[in-house]
Amino acid sequence: MVNTVLYLALGVNVKLFLALLLSGFFMRPGWWMKVLLMIFVLPWAVPQITTFISIHWMLNGEWGFLNNMLYTLFHVEGPHWLNDRWTALGAVIVSHIWKWTPFWTLILLAGRMAIPLEIRDTARVDGATGVRGFVHITFPLLANLYLICTLLSTIFLLGDFNAVYFVSGGGPANSTQVLATLGIRNAFEIAQPRLGVAAVMSALPMVIPLVIVLMRKLRTAQVQL
């Protein structure tokens, strides 16, 4: 349960905050910015299983890419990343953030682009530029969209299986299991379907309130900026 809470808290908050900042960066004009955006979106476009299996082998403690690079550049023996609970869980969280931040960046970028030019031009004339413009103009207009993205991301993350299973495998010693992977493990690996169902159903007390809030928010705000 602790792993699930950490996974949710860091995965959602860091991912959405980075997406919000990057959406402002990609608002800049120029063809080179479009090229950067296309490259930035590639991690999200690549299939999940391929991505996470590649990350798993990159973090191999004996001959993984990361440890080989550390030894080549600094002559330092890298740690066994996936043999420690916290580095393994950190690798899973970073992998998930790297995979899904481009998607939420695109959503928030679309929200920024939907802000009328008249509002932005008037804000600039009044001196609301830079941080002041973001705090007093951009973020209040994006608040509804940001909240909806946060709720959706939390719901999606509660059922996320691929990142944990293919990066850390739930190890070491099942110390990085989350509800989704724990349910599969209990049901199929140790042949205890009741425990598997119990692990998955334990997410309902968190999912149901989130869904209710999301539906109420969608009905009242109508996904408008």
pLDDT mean across residues, the chain? 86
The predicted structure's pLDDT at residue 225 = 46
Question: Could you state, in order of their start, the residue ranges of all structural domains in the chain?
Answer: 2-221
Higher pLDDT, residue 161 or 10: 161
What values do phi and psi take at 6, rounded to 5? -65, -45
What values do phi and psi take at 76, rounded to 5? -115, 135
The predicted structure's pLDDT at residue 223 = 44
The predicted structure's pLDDT at residue 56 = 94
Question: Considering only CA atoms, which of 79, 67, 57, 66 is closest in space to residue 166?
Answer: 57
The yes-or-no verdict on residue 69 having pLDDT over 80 is: yes
Mean pLDDT of 31-55: 92
Position 95, amino acid: S
Q: How far is CA 22 from CA 17, 18, 28, 105, 145, in A?
A: 9, 6, 11, 6, 15
94 CB burial (10 A radius; 0-12, 13-18, 19+):
middle
- Could you read off the pLDDT of 153-177 as tens digits, one per residue? 988 888 889 999 999 998 888 888 8
The yes-or-no verdict on residue 115 having pLDDT over 80 is: yes
User: Which of 17-21, 68-72, 121-125 has the weakest average pLDDT?
Assistant: 121-125
Would you give the end-to-end CA distance of the chain in angstroms? 35
User: Which of 69-78, 86-95, 205-214, 215-224 has the weakest average pLDDT?
Assistant: 215-224
Classified by CATH at the fold level, domain 2-221 comes out as MetI-like fold (1.10.3720)
203-208 long-range Cβ contacts below 8 angstroms, 24+ apart: 203/158, 203/159, 203/179, 206/158, 207/155, 207/158
The predicted structure's pLDDT at residue 103 = 95
Token readout for 132 is 């002041």
The predicted structure's pLDDT at residue 173 = 86
Position 11, amino acid: G
Q: Compute CA 10 distance to the chain's CA centroid, rounded to the nearest angstrom.
A: 8
Distance separating alpha carbons of residues 94 and 74, to the nearest angstrom = 23
Mean pLDDT of 111-128: 77
Cα torsion 121, 124, 130, 136: sign? negative
Question: Considering only CA atoms, which of 177, 184, 212, 176 is closest in space to residue 200?
Answer: 184
User: Which of 83-87, 92-96, 220-224 has the weakest average pLDDT?
Assistant: 220-224
The predicted structure's pLDDT at residue 23 = 92
The yes-or-no verdict on residue 19 having pLDDT over 90 is: yes
Is the CB of residue 59 less than 8 Å from the CB of residue 92?
A: no
The predicted structure's pLDDT at residue 117 = 77
